[in-house]
């Protein structure tokens, strides 16, 4: 038995933007799966709130269709769908005006956990926070959930934080980075802090370098307008890759509690050196026989926005001085593959005369697909013929080690929404973390803009631009193969 359902209290969850893309693709299917797992208690209600004219029935129909389209796996069981839809309601609300707010307030019930999910453009965050407050819907137990992008630079992030802080305490604000909800990302903490084996070696003395790769095969997927204003740096590095870097590099928190964990992550971000322009490579994917180019996808032949970025980063503290972190992420790459690899140093001396090669251990943590952990170790090649050494992976693919149930990986949104209801902020970003991440990212982006740098073109289905390979080669290192 792998999964265990920890009950949560009954809740009223309002999803602003409840008819939108994210709600239909991710939030509502995630809630449905929690319902099917028996985690959504009897008496809970989910209220879609949006501008469209719709009643409960219309919303239920929309959600039913979303479940058919976006819930992975076999067709959902009709009785379960019916039961879930019965918990759904709809209120037409004008985020910037006054319509609908009184009705929404009347739906809120005393004694329930109350959460408001802002699945809308960040420009509406302030207005929603203010109206929730002025319509008497906020008590100390109320939570709000906000989606990325949380600003597009330090200034806008600060403004968002200020507008939310006017009506909510930091302990009520849940800033989602869905990477923190991924199963293996949490496993990172379990591996580091639940084993004696790794932590003593987890520093510059033993680790040669660390690679973090988040490669996607998809392009901008009809989000060209948003993406072209963001690019890989804002869309992926400032949040997802930065969070992975923090979890790998942070000191052990004294306990697994939201502020203890987030304090340590913040220290990592603040210890990041500014990145030299020569240590970053940007790219844009080109077309091939079947797929269009980045410039076609965003409908701007002059766009200088990157769909790929690779960089060398230094964490300036005692633990990591001298150990580079190489990060890369891109769209339309050769495989969908996200992994973190901790590459240890070579043995200082070989006692085996016939051993021509030098050996290093690599611990790789596969985020997706095929969640699992590999540890490359050096062993004697079996059979006669002397002491010949080879490197073999000790592979722990979760589904093999833990049985078929582990193949069903809980989606990040399922875990994160349930954490909101439980009131656990550990896997959410605190305001100061987000601001620190922007403070590090801003000068990099400003430098590109000031210099008018153009990204290098790379082939769709490749490992990224040539220069990103050179970024490693010049340090006598190599990127790991991208494969799913
Ligand atoms: C989102 C980005 O935050 O993460 C997308 O905006 C990206 O551009 C996505 O495709 C990747 O998430 P995942 O879970 O598919 O790795």
- The per-residue pLDDT for 407 is 62
17 — alpha (psi -120 to 50), left (phi > 0) or beta?
left
Query: Ligand 1 atom closest to Cα of 230?
Result: 6
Q: How much is the pLDDT for 352?
A: 81
Ligand 1 test: best mutation among 70, 225, 236, most atoms within 8 Å of CB? 236
Looking at residue 35, its pLDDT comes to 95
Give the burial string for 295-305 (b: 16+ CB within 10 Å, else e): bebbeeeebeb
> Count of alpha carbons within 13 Å of 64, Cβ hemisphere only?
17
Residues of the chain with pLDDT under 70: 1-3, 354-357, 399, 404-409
Q: What confidence score (pLDDT) does residue 405 get? A: 63
Closest ligand 1 atom, residue 235 Cα: 6
pLDDT of residue 363: 95
Nearest atom in ligand 1 to 223's CA: 8
Residues with C-beta less than 6 Å from any ligand 1 atom: 178, 216, 235
For 355-435, list the strands marked E by DSSP. Answer: 362-368, 372-380, 389-397
CA-based angle 393:382:481, to the nearest 5?
A: 25
| pLDDT for the residue numbered 463 | 96
Distance CA 372, CA 364 (A): 8
Residues 264, 250 contacting (CB under 8 angstroms)? yes
Q: In whole angstroms, what is the distance from residue 476 CA to residue 165 CA? A: 48
H helix or E strand, kind and range, residue 13: strand 11-16
pTM of the model: 0.94
CA of 371 to the centre of ligand 1 (A): 17
Going from the Cα of 119 to the center of ligand 1, the distance in angstroms, rounded, reads 15
Q: Which of 127, 153, 156, 159 is nearest to 144 (CA)?
A: 127
Query: Would you tell me the crossing angle of helices 154-165 and 431-451 to the nearest 10 degrees?
Result: 150
9 burial class (0-12, 13-18, 19+ CB within 10 angstroms)? middle
Paired strand residues for 211 = 326, 341
Q: What are the catalytic residues? A: 240
Nearest CA to ligand 1 atom 15: 216
Distance 231 CA to ligand 1 centre (A): 12
Substitution candidate for ligand 1 out of 213, 218, 235 with most atoms within 8 A of CB: 235
Atom of ligand 1 nearest to the CA of 331: 10
Q: How far apart are CA 279 and CA 35, in angstroms?
A: 47
Contact 455, 330 (CB under 8 A): no
**Protein residue whose Cα sits closest to atom 13 of ligand 1:** 179
Mapping DSSP to helix (H, G, I), strand (E, B) and coil, where does residue 91 land? strand
Q: How far is the CA of 362 from the centre of ligand 1 (A)?
A: 26
Rounded Cα distance between 368 and 362, Å, is: 18
Ligand 1 closest atom vs CA 179: 14
The answer to whether residues 157 and 345 touch, using CB atoms and an 8 Å cutoff, is no
The rounded Å distance from CA 436 to ligand 1 centre is 21
φ, ψ (nearest 5 deg) of residue 110 = -70, 150
What's the pLDDT tens digit per position in 236-263?
999 999 999 999 999 999 999 999 999 9
Distance (angstroms) between ligand 1 centre and the Cα of 369 equals 14
CA of 213 to the centre of ligand 1 (A): 13
The first and second tokens of residue 368, run together, are 């997706």
Contact criterion met (CB below 8 Å) for 131 and 101: yes
pLDDT of residue 1: 44
From atom 4 of ligand 1, which residue's Cα is the shortest distance away?
236
pLDDT tens digit string along 4-58? 788 899 999 999 999 999 999 999 999 999 999 999 999 999 999 999 999 999 9
Mutation pick for ligand 1 pocket among 146, 185, 216, 340 (CB with most ligand atoms within 8 Å): 216
Q: What is the DSSP letter of 23?
A: I
Q: Whose CA is nearest to atom 6 of ligand 1?
A: 235
Report the separation in Å between the CA atom of 333 and the middle of ligand 1, taken as the mean of its atom positions: 14
- What's residue 282's pLDDT? 98
Angle formed at CA 370 by CA 232 and CA 222, multiple of 5 degrees:
35
Atom of ligand 1 nearest to the CA of 239: 3
């Amino acid at each position: 038995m792998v999964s265990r359902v920890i009950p949560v209290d009954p809740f009223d969850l309002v999803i602003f933007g409840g008819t939108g893309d994210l709600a239909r693709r991710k939030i509502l299917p995630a809630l449905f799966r929690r319902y099917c797992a028996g985690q959504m208690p009897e008496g809970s209600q989910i209220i879609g709130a949006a501008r469209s004219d719709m009643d409960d029935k219309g919303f239920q129909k929309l959600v039913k269709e979303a479940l058919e389209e976006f819930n992975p796996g076999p067709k959902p069981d009709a009785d379960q769908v019916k039961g879930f839809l019965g918990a759904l309601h709809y209120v037409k609300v004008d985020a910037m005006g006054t319509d609908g707010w009184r009705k929404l307030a009347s739906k809120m019930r005393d004694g329930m956990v109350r959460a408001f999910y802002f699945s809308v453009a960040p420009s509406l965050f302030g207005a929603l926070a203010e109206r929730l407050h002025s319509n008497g819907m906020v008590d100390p137990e109320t939570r709000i959930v906000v989606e990325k992008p949380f600003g597009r630079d330090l200034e806008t992030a600060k403004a968002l934080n200020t507008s939310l802080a006017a009506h909510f305490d930091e302990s009520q604000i849940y800033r989602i980075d869905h990477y923190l909800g991924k199963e293996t990302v949490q496993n990172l903490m379990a591996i580091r802090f639940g084993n004696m084996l790794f932590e003593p070696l987890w520093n510059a003395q033993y680790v040669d370098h660390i690679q973090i790769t988040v490669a996607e095969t998809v392009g901008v997927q009809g989000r060209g307008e948003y993406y072209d204003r963001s690019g890989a740096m804002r869309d992926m590095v400032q949040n997802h890759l930065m969070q992975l870097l923090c979890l790998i590099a942070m000191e052990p928190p004294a306990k697994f509690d939201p502020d203890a964990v987030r304090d340590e992550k913040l220290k990592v971000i603040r210890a990041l050196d500014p990145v030299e322009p020569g240590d970053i490579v940007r790219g844009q994917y080109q077309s091939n026989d079947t797929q269009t180019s980045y410039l076609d996808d965003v409908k701007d032949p002059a766009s200088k926005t990157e769909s790929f970025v690779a960089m060398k980063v230094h964490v300036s503290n005692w633990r990591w001085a001298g150990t580079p972190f190489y990060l890369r992420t891109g769209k339309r790459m050769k495989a969908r593959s996200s992994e973190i690899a901790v590459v240890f140093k070579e043995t200082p001396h070989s006692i085996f005369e016939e051993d021509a090669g030098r050996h290093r251990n690599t611990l790789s943590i596969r985020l997706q697909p095929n969640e699992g952990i590999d540890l490359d170790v050096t062993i004697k090649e079996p059979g006669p013929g002397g002491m010949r050494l080879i490197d073999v992976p000790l592979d722990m693919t979760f589904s093999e080690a833990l049985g078929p149930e582990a193949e069903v990986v809980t989606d990040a949104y399922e875990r994160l929404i349930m954490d909101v209801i439980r009131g656990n902020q550990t896997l959410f970003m605190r305001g100061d973390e987000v601001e620190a991440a922007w403070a590090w990212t801003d000068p990099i982006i400003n430098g590109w803009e000031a210099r008018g740098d153009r990204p290098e073109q790379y082939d769709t289905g490749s490992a990224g631009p040539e220069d990103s390979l050179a970024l490693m080669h010049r340090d006598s290192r190599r990127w790991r193969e991208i494969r799913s």
